[in-house]
């Protein structure tokens, strides 16, 4: 029991650290690509770990919180709340839908971050950052752009990464189930 608890904590911490470092590194090398309204946050590939371990849930959430703290000057405290909530809910739903496969791929799971970030972060952008009040059509546009960035990362990078881990058996070797 103690060994599993230690492994869970270590996995969560490593996932949080990698997510944070990847996001900060991307913001440093390519300013705005990981923290602006339309983003292609490469660190979102880390959400794939929610398919293999429940430790990814707190790891991704803490990683997102730390990454969002690093960009407070850009988006203020709103993204700390909405972005982190979206990451938490997406990780939970990814883990819960991990066994639903289409052509042996966890496609439904990979839609969760796009769906939740699209809704929550799309609302955040439209409500807090766009002048002239909340407009549902603009919310759909903002949310769609956020979801598109998420889908890009998860479909282009995430699904092949998940499949590689599974085919090589690394999902069972590296992750707590």
Cα Rg of the chain, angstroms: 16
Query: What is the span of the domain harbouring residue 122?
Result: 2-174
Summarize pLDDT for 1-51 with one digit per residue, the tens. Answer: 577 889 999 999 999 999 999 999 998 898 877 666 567 889 999 999 999
Q: How many helices (H) and strands (E) does the chain have?
A: 7, 0
What confidence score (pLDDT) does residue 2 get? Answer: 76
Q: In this structure, what DSSP letter does residue 50 have?
A: G
- Contact, 8 vs 49, CB < 8 A? no
Secondary structure of residue 56 in the 3-state scheme? helix
- pTM, rounded to two decimals: 0.91
Q: What's 137's domain CATH number?
A: 1.10.1760
Q: How many domains does the chain have?
A: 1
CA distance 4 to 164: 25
Summarize pLDDT for 69-116 with one digit per residue, the tens. Answer: 987 767 779 989 999 999 999 999 999 999 999 999 999 999 999 999
Q: In this structure, what DSSP letter does residue 175 have?
A: S
In the block, which residue shows the tokens 């609302």? 123
Summarize pLDDT for 112-164 with one digit per residue, the tens. Answer: 999 999 999 999 989 988 888 899 999 999 999 999 999 999 999 999 999 99
Give me the phi and psi of 102, to 5 degrees please: -125, 120
Contacts of residue 138, defined as CB under 8 A and 6 or more positions apart, other chains included, come to 126, 130
């Amino acid at each position: 029991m103690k060994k599993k608890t230690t492994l869970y904590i270590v996995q969560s911490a490593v996932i949080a650290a990698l997510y944070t470092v990847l996001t900060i590194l991307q913001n440093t090398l390519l300013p705005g690509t990981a923290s602006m309204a339309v983003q292609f946050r490469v660190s979102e590939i880390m959400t794939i770990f929610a398919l293999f371990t429940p430790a990814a849930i707190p790891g991704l959430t803490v990683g997102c919180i730390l990454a969002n703290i690093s960009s407070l000057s850009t988006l203020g405290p709103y993204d700390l709340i909405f972005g982190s909530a979206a990451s938490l809910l997406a990780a939970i739903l990814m883990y819960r839908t991990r066994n639903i496969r289409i052509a042996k791929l966890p496609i439904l799971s990979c839609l969760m971050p796009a769906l939740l970030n699209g809704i929550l972060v799309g609302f955040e952008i439209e409500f807090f950052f766009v002048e002239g009040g909340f407009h549902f059509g603009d919310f759909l546009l903002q949310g769609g752009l956020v979801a598109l960035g998420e889908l890009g990362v998860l479909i282009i990078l995430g699904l092949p990464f998940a499949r590689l881990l599974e085919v090589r058996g690394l999902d069972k070797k590296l992750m707590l189930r």
